[in-house]
A and B are shown apart, each in its own frame.
Chain A
């Protein structure tokens, strides 16, 4: 068994889990943070994307034990305080989601992308940067639109959120 201690969405958490427990399962099952999803077995769909120490990673491709000691932000932590994050608001305004299953991973990937590119994002870059996130509902049109809109709105504020 592995002893896990980490900061998740600003809160110190701990737990004892089998060493083989993936970070995504620790989040979902031990912490009841079920916004992070599992959509594939091969680390490609990106439904599980969270931020670990400020960077987007696939929580299905990391053991909880590997992440122990880290600072993790999940979709549930993005709008802390009740105010929607600009990326969340843009996904709603531009209809960037349908069934919602890929959405948490998409939004976490988008916030990371905007952190890295700021206002320099264009459509081709957004599409290339979404390489690790699969959506089956939207045909990506409105996801791309939402990310560009959020990036434009956020440009000027260099860092998305204190992580």
Chain B
């Protein structure tokens, strides 16, 4: 790791100010992606601004079907929230399968979506749930938030503070992990609500998380795994690497989508 300067922020405002005074600062929440990246000298922020101790960013609230999750909430806290599981088991199950138990104790939902790793799990849930991303500056619809691989609508000093969504009637997440890294090689979140069905795919697409509209339409009229039988995603839009060709990933997207529908 290159030398850096650590700052612990006590509030969102303080964090934003610290960022403004840094030359090439980075916010760190759980640090479960950023610290390994820095260890490998692939990132070299001169300042690290720690958000982990900001009380305002923590906590889960469930009112009826309205859900709000603070950005600093860990994957473990999401996975083990009984209130959340009661209205939206898809997201608690998703959180319970991110990384490994130790990573889940540190990693946060805010960090995950702000980083928008193309193989991260949460972005698919945000997109499929039609979530709103709350930041230190504004509210952004998930559809507008994720703009490409590792790219989001966030400005440099903008901090994700929470996400909110209305729990759907049914939802589930199914993923096929990369055998080595255990990141999603294809992860599909399916949500069925009053406004129809949304299907969002992570890990597979060349441009990061995406909605599979053909599947949404098919499932809109017939919410069953069999409704996807005749469909396929275009392998030309899929990632390809030593673990999975584009063709294989395209297959996985369909298989995971069917399994998510069956589980929802």
Contacts and interface: CB of A to CB of B under 8 A. Distances in A.
Interface of A: 2, 18-20, 22, 41-44, 46, 49, 52, 55-58, 60-63, 65-66, 68, 109, 112-113, 116, 129, 131-133
A117 B76 CA distance: 13
B126 to A, nearest CB: 24
30 contacts: A19-B3, A19-B5, A19-B6, A19-B48, A20-B3, A20-B4, A20-B38, A42-B36, A42-B40, A43-B36, A44-B181, A56-B101, A56-B102, A57-B102, A57-B106, A58-B102, A58-B103, A60-B39, A61-B103, A62-B31, A65-B6, A65-B8, A66-B6, A66-B28, A66-B31, A112-B101, A131-B101, A132-B99, A132-B101, A133-B100
A61 B32 contact: yes
Nearest to A43: B36
B52 interface: yes
Closest 5 CB pairs of A and B: A132-B100, A131-B100, A65-B6, A19-B6, A55-B105
A61 B35 CA distance: 6
A2 B101 CA distance: 28
Contacts of A19: 3-6, 48
B76 A55 contact: yes
Chain A CB count within 10 A is highest, among B102, B106, B181, for B102
A49 B31 CA distance: 15
Instruction: Kindly state the interface size class of chain B when it binds its partner.
Output: 20 to 34
Interface string B17-41: 0000000000010011001101110
**Secondary structure type dominating chain B contacts:** mixed
B106 to A, nearest CB: 5
A46 B100 contact: yes
A18 B3 contact: yes
A120 to B, nearest CB: 13
Contact of B6 (A2, A42, A109, A132): A2
B101 A61 contact: no
Nearest to A20: B1
Interface of B: 1-6, 8, 28, 31-32, 35-36, 38-40, 48, 50, 52, 76, 99-103, 105-106, 181-182
B102 A132 contact: yes
Contacts of B28: 66
Contacts of B99: 131-132
Contacts of B101: 56, 109, 112-113, 116, 129, 131-132
Chain B CB count within 10 A is highest, among A49, A52, A65, for A65
B40 A43 contact: no
Contacts of A61: 31-32, 35-36, 103, 106
Chain A CB count within 10 A is highest, among B4, B28, B38, B105, for B105
Contacts of B1: 20, 22
A22 B48 CA distance: 13
Contacts of A44: 100, 181
A109 B102 contact: yes
Contacts of A49: 102
Contacts of A22: 1, 35, 39
Nearest to B106: A57
Contact of A56 (B3, B40, B105): B105
